[in-house]
Amino acid sequence: MTDNTLPGDIFQLADDITVHRMGYGAMQLAGPGVFGPPKDYDEAIAVLRKATEMGIDHIDTSDFYGPHVTNKIIKDALRPYPDNLTIVTKVGAKRDDRGNWLPAASADELRHAVRDNLDNLGLDVLDVVNFRIHSGEDPSSPSKDSIAEPFGVLAEMQRGGLIKHLGISTATAEQVAEAQAIAPIICVQNMYNIANRGDDELIDSLARQNIAYVPYFPLGGFSPLQSETLNSVAQRLATSPMGVALAWLLQRSPNILLIPGTSSVSHLQENVAGASVELPQDAIEELNSIAG
């Protein structure tokens, strides 16, 4: 498969970055629970190399995956990096020795996290850094706190030449606006899928500004009834539920970029093939009806 066959066309992420809308999320390359080393290191290497061979030029990662695991695998697999590869990382959280997800948004913690990402990826400057807003409770639930102070620290590091571009993750529309008052952002990464559409207005607002929206958990938070509808559509179209979910996201808005994760080469290929399905209007309407 060549880059010409990736689904979803391309998106200009920034003046100096154009990516295919079909990307790859490296989170699942770490061990169970995104903690510790992978079960199969060679397969993890193979997944990353296959992704770039298929034309995927946008990889999402973080040094708190593992921690430190996925970034080191990316470096081992792909460095020296292809000129067209964009690596997007995130800071603002950390793991304790039991694998719990904890907020890490002090100035010292953010500076340390940026340095760790640089070191473990083997880079002198990071393409994109998302500030992961952590509620301290449900990791996927946005906090309503001000992000001015921590985002300002990252903006300072951007001015210092360690970061090219900034984004935010698990953010409200108000926090997006707050960040934009401090420094330009090129992407927002939130939980969003067919069944969880609380960000519909935010996606449309970002699209008007040509800012990317990057949804995670494309199959997260589905009720049994919603899953039944998704499975029915997938069966009718002779593809997988994940494929339908990804294809729906690509057709939802042109500023949506995909970062499905897997630790398997075969699943990577299935995800790309599934996202290539053109959903007919009746399928879209049926899927739209299951939104919570």
Give the active site residues: 65
Q: What does the buried/exposed string (b/e) look like for 105-128 if buried means 16 or more CB atoms within 10 Å of the residue's CB?
A: beeebbbebbebbbebbebeebbb
Strand partners, 213: 188, 256
Tell me if 93 sits within 8 A of 64, measured CB to CB: yes
How many CB atoms are located within 10 Å of the residue 42 CB? Answer: 8
CB atoms within 10 A of CB 47: 25
Backbone angles phi, psi at 169, to 5 degrees: -135, 145
H-only helix segments in the chain: 41-53, 69-78, 107-121, 148-159, 173-180, 200-208, 224-236, 241-252, 265-275, 281-288
- How large is the angle between the packed helices 281-288 and 241-252, nearest 10 degrees? 100
Contact 166/155 with Cβ under 8 angstroms? yes
Could you tell me what percentage of the chain is helix, strand and coil, using 3-state DSSP and rounding each to the nearest 5? 40, 20, 40
CB atoms within 10 A of CB 236: 13
Cis peptide before 80 (omega within 30 of 0): yes
Q: Report the helix count and the strand count for the chain, using DSSP H and E.
A: 10, 11
